[in-house]
């Protein structure tokens, strides 16, 4: 059975169509990424799927339960971690978890057991009786995730879960999400962090201006823009003359600075790499690093977003 089925889902706000007849399916046990630029319709979609708003057209179901007609049973199957950590600041971590457990109909012994487990997993046991208002951003995020997991849901919706977190908290969260997924939880993740989607997701959907532009595995999406290969080089001297010379190498189509590195896009990385070695030798420059780089998910994303944006602009009267 599909964990999530979306069929022609549409949402209008007055004359603005925020989500435009999107259809996709998420299989049970899948780690599914939902990507798109700001205002593309990601949050609107997640809000419809979780019952926070209703579709203007189309249907969606969670574990076979229609989100509109059988909302009660649909909601039993998922937990949600919204973009904002929605915890009760005036309650302790323990009481937040107890409240979440009660909302999901857990008995007293069940919610006590789960709360203890989750506090342990998220390293919050020492803070169980502390009011959440004194918690750091990372701790709030962990408590929000713990509350979403209190009823051991089959599906977990996450809206930008690592946004604003420090590296350590972000890594811990990703590790926990990976483990949950390995243990069978279906994960629906919206994120701006494409590297996060690239490493975590089995498949990603890209939504642009309310329409689905692509749904596929990250590697397959990258292959669709295989022409976007590049050579990334760092020399001990990167003057404007040097970068101009490198950009003038035959077969280089474009270039850009990336920190202390210079990236040259080309359909033939071997030719460019050889030319760089020759140039460095001739000008007595030291190569600090040189790598050939395939297209990233970010490249694929940008290419798809641009294509979709162009086609929609062209399609307009």
Assess contact for 106 and 99: CB atoms under 8 A.
Answer: no
Assess contact for 280 and 286: CB atoms under 8 A.
Answer: yes
Letters for 104-143 (x = contact with other proteins by CB under 8 A, - = none) are xx--------------------------------------
| H helix or E strand, kind and range, residue 156 | strand 155-159
**51 sits near other proteins (criterion: CB under 8 A):** yes
Query: Interface with other proteins by CB under 8 A: which range of 95-103, 160-168, 288-296, 299-307?
Result: 95-103
Assess contact for 148 and 114: CB atoms under 8 A.
Answer: no
Query: Interface with other proteins by CB under 8 A: which range of 102-110, 173-181, 191-199, 270-278?
Result: 102-110
Contacts with other proteins by CB under 8 A: the residue count is 32
Q: Extract long-range pairs of 248-253: CB within 8 Å, 24+ residues apart.
A: 249/275, 249/276, 249/279, 250/275
Question: Which of 139, 147, 264, 300 contacts other proteins by CB under 8 A?
Answer: 147
Q: How many residues make up the chain in this entry?
A: 317
Q: Alpha-carbon distance 91 to 234, whole Å? A: 52
User: 49 or 264: whose CB is closer to other proteins?
Assistant: 49
Question: Which of 57, 66, 76, 117 contacts other proteins by CB under 8 A?
Answer: 76
**6 sits near other proteins (criterion: CB under 8 A):** no
Question: Which of 27, 90, 166, 175 contacts other proteins by CB under 8 A?
Answer: 90
CA distances from 56 to 19, 110, 202 (A): 9, 38, 30
Q: Alpha-carbon distance 164 to 246, whole Å? A: 37
Q: Alpha-carbon distance 310 to 36, whole Å? A: 15
User: For residue 188, which of 19, 39, 43 has the smallest C-alpha distance?
Assistant: 43
Work out how close the CB of 76 gets to other proteins at its nearest, in angstroms, rounded to a whole number: 5
Q: Who's near 219: CB < 8 A, 6+ residues apart?
A: none
- Please give the distance of CA 310 from its chain centroid, rounded to a whole number: 24
User: 47 or 203: whose CB is closer to other proteins?
Assistant: 47
Question: Which of 8, 27, 39, 54 contacts other proteins by CB under 8 A?
Answer: 54
**40 sits near other proteins (criterion: CB under 8 A):** no
CA distances from 302 to 6, 170, 199, 313 (A): 25, 24, 18, 16
Query: Interface with other proteins by CB under 8 A: which range of 85-93, 114-122, 281-289, 293-301?
Result: 85-93
Query: Interface with other proteins by CB under 8 A: which range of 30-38, 71-79, 183-191, 279-287?
Result: 71-79
**75 sits near other proteins (criterion: CB under 8 A):** yes
Footprint on this chain of other proteins (rule: CB under 8 A): 11, 13, 44, 47-48, 50-54, 72-73, 75-76, 78, 80, 82, 84, 86-91, 95, 99-100, 102-105, 147
């Amino acid at each position: 059975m599909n964990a999530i089925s979306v069929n022609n889902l549409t949402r209008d706000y007055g004359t603005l169509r925020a989500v435009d007849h999107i259809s996709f399916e998420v299989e049970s046990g899948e780690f599914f990424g939902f990507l798109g630029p700001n205002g593309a319709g990601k949050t609107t979609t997640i809000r419809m799927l979780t019952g926070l708003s209703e579709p203007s057209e189309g249907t969606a179901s969670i574990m076979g339960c229609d989100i509109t007609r059988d909302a009660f049973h649909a909601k039993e199957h998922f937990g949600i971690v919204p973009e904002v950590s929605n915890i009760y600041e005036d309650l302790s971590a323990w009481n937040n978890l107890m409240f979440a457990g009660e909302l999901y109909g857990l008995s007293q012994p069940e919610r006590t057991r789960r709360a203890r487990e989750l506090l342990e997993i998220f390293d919050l046991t020492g803070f169980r009786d502390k009011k959440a208002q004194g918690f750091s951003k990372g701790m709030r995020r962990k408590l929000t995730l713990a509350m979403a997991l209190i009823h051991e849901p089959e599906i977990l919706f996450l809206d930008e879960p690592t946004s604003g977190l420090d590296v350590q908290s972000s890594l811990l969260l990703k590790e926990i999400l990976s483990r949950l997924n390995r243990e069978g939880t279906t994960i629906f993740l919206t994120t701006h962090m494409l590297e996060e989607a690239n490493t975590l997701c089995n498949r990603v959907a890209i939504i642009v201006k309310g329409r689905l532009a692509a749904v596929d595995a990250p590697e397959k999406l990258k292959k669709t823009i295989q022409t976007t290969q590049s050579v990334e080089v760092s020399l001990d001297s990167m003057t404007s003359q040097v970068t101009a010379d490198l950009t003038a190498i035959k077969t280089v189509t474009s270039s850009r600075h990336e920190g202390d590195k210079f990236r040259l896009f080309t359909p033939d990385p071997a030719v460019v790499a050889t030319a760089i070695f020759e140039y460095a030798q001739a000008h007595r420059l030291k190569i600090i690093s040189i790598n050939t780089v395939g297209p990233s998910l970010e490249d694929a994303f940008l290419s798809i977003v641009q294509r979709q944006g162009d086609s929609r602009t062209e399609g307009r009267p």
